[in-house]
Amino acid sequence: MTAQALDAEALGILLDRLGREATRFRFEVAPNPCVGAAILARGEVIGIGYHETYGGPHAEIQAMEAARQSGIPECDWDTIAITLEPCSTTGKTPPCVEAILRTGIRNVVVSQLDPNPDHEGRGLRLLEAAGLQVRVMDGIARLKDVSPHFLRWMANERVRRPRPWMIAKWAQTMTGQMRPPADVGQGRWISSQESLEEVMLLRSKVEAIVAGVGTVLSDNPRYTVRPPGHADTPPARVILDAWLRTPLHSKLFDAPAEGEQAGPLYILCLPGSNAVRYRALEQAGATVVEIRGEDRKHLRLLDVQSWLAEMGFKRVLLETGPTLLRNYLDSGFVDQ
């Protein structure tokens, strides 16, 4: 049976369901699109999967793993239905096109092409060249419904001047305070233990953490990943420090404890900052980077964002105090 001969109504219902279910993981995968996939054998769905975590397995791979659990051999798989064209290049994971070609799948049905100009149609052309039947069912599980964040990501100026997907995290009291009152004794945090653990999981799912030197001076944070979080590659720690005020005794320079993961440390400063401090911070283990200033006191956030993108940091956590947080929000750089 060819892709064109498959029951269009049933496929449409399946793709619509996959699209709706995939949206559950929007904030876990952003800026990547939400994608769902299903494996069929003789018209029956035997495995469903979704892209659930940024940097994690794609929906096609998840669906294949679920199909293997069904006990039906791969040589009997005949169709894969996907809400978006499968990837054909290696990123954080291998190309899904290659994984499809290693199975018995002969029909590929997708809701639409990947709008990224670097990929649009390429995956389907490779599948067709290998002899597979390909069908595009436009109008079902549309990206504007399933992954509006991805369309905005592709459509706005980031295509011309890339910027990372910024996740802002902060804690505040019911009265809007970001620090505990002075009369609470030794209590340092206004966050609960559960939310602190959630932060560790969040840190493990980004490629960089951005903070201001004010937070470094007041809180002396490490910005490491600790259990229950675990990262294959711990996120880089990026400190915005216009005049190189980061103390050499800061915990940022401490060796990670057992079970703790520390990414590389970058300190971003204005051109012409103190040369002695520059050398001392680099000798302590930081990489110091000069960034153009908005004025003689502040770094230009647009250039910070461009630098992050140039470094390959696509998903970034903003974990800082109220001043830098407000500047990021006012600049329109916060996505989540």
Rounded to whole angstroms, the Cα distance separating 251 from 235 reads 16
Sign (positive or negative) of CA dihedral 155, 113, 29, 97: negative
Residue 154 and residue 33 in contact, taking contact as beta carbons nearer than 8 Å: no
Cα dihedral 110/112/116/119 (nearest 10): 40
Rounded to whole angstroms, the Cα distance separating 243 from 268 reads 9
Q: Which of 155, 187, 203 is the last residue of a domain?
A: 155
By DSSP bridging, strand 236-240 and strand 265-269 are: parallel
- Is the same domain home to 195 and 134? no
- Is the same domain home to 143 and 7? yes
Three-class SS state of 50: strand
Rounded to whole angstroms, the Cα distance separating 51 from 30 reads 10
pTM above 0.75, yes or no: yes
- Is the same domain home to 67 and 139? yes
Q: Which of 155, 174, 195 is the last residue of a domain?
A: 155
Q: Which pLDDT score, from 0 to 100, does residue 6 have?
A: 66
Domain count, the chain: 2
In tens, the pLDDT along 19-58 reads 999 999 988 898 889 999 999 998 899 999 999 999 899 9
- Is the same domain home to 235 and 279? yes
Structure tokens at 334: 């916060």
Q: List the 44-50 sheet strands across, edge first.
A: 44-50, 36-41, 79-82, 107-110, 133-136
Q: At what angle do helices 322-331 and 301-310 cross, to 10 degrees?
A: 80
The CA-based angle 25-30-34, given to 5 degrees, is 50
Verify whether residue 290 is a known catalytic residue.
no
| CATH code, 283 | 3.40.430.10
- Is the same domain home to 13 and 142? yes
Q: Which of 115, 55, 49 is nearest to 84 (CA)?
A: 115
Residue 78 and residue 46 in contact, taking contact as beta carbons nearer than 8 Å: no
Mean pLDDT, the chain, as a whole number? 87
In tens, the pLDDT along 247-265 reads 999 999 999 999 899 999 9
According to DSSP, the residues that pair with 109 across neighbouring strands are 81, 135
Q: Which pLDDT score, from 0 to 100, does residue 14 have?
A: 95
User: pLDDT tens digits for the chain (336 residues)?
Assistant: 455 556 888 899 999 999 999 999 988 898 889 999 999 998 899 999 999 999 899 999 999 999 999 999 999 999 999 999 998 887 777 889 999 999 989 999 999 988 877 778 899 999 999 999 999 998 888 888 888 888 877 765 455 567 888 999 988 777 767 676 665 555 566 777 787 888 888 898 899 999 999 999 988 999 998 899 888 889 999 999 999 999 999 999 999 999 899 999 999 999 988 899 999 999 999 999 999 887 777 899 999 999 999 999 989 999 988 889 999 999 888 888
- Is the same domain home to 31 and 112? yes
Q: Which of 52, 60, 128, 294 is catalytic?
A: 60
| CATH code, 108 | 3.40.140.10
Rounded to whole angstroms, the Cα distance separating 124 from 132 reads 9
Q: Which pLDDT score, from 0 to 100, does residue 161 have?
A: 64
Q: Which of 155, 175, 193 is the last residue of a domain?
A: 155
| Kind and range of the H or E run holding 236 | strand 236-240
Residue whose token pair is 């520390």: 262
- Is the same domain home to 56 and 187? no
- Is the same domain home to 224 and 99? no
- Is the same domain home to 41 and 148? yes
Residue 33 belongs to domain spanning: 3-155
- Is the same domain home to 247 and 313? yes
Q: Which pLDDT score, from 0 to 100, does residue 202 have?
A: 86
Give the residue ranges of DSSP H helices in 31-134.
Answer: 59-69, 96-101, 122-129
Three-class SS state of 140: coil
Residue 82 and residue 140 in contact, taking contact as beta carbons nearer than 8 Å: no
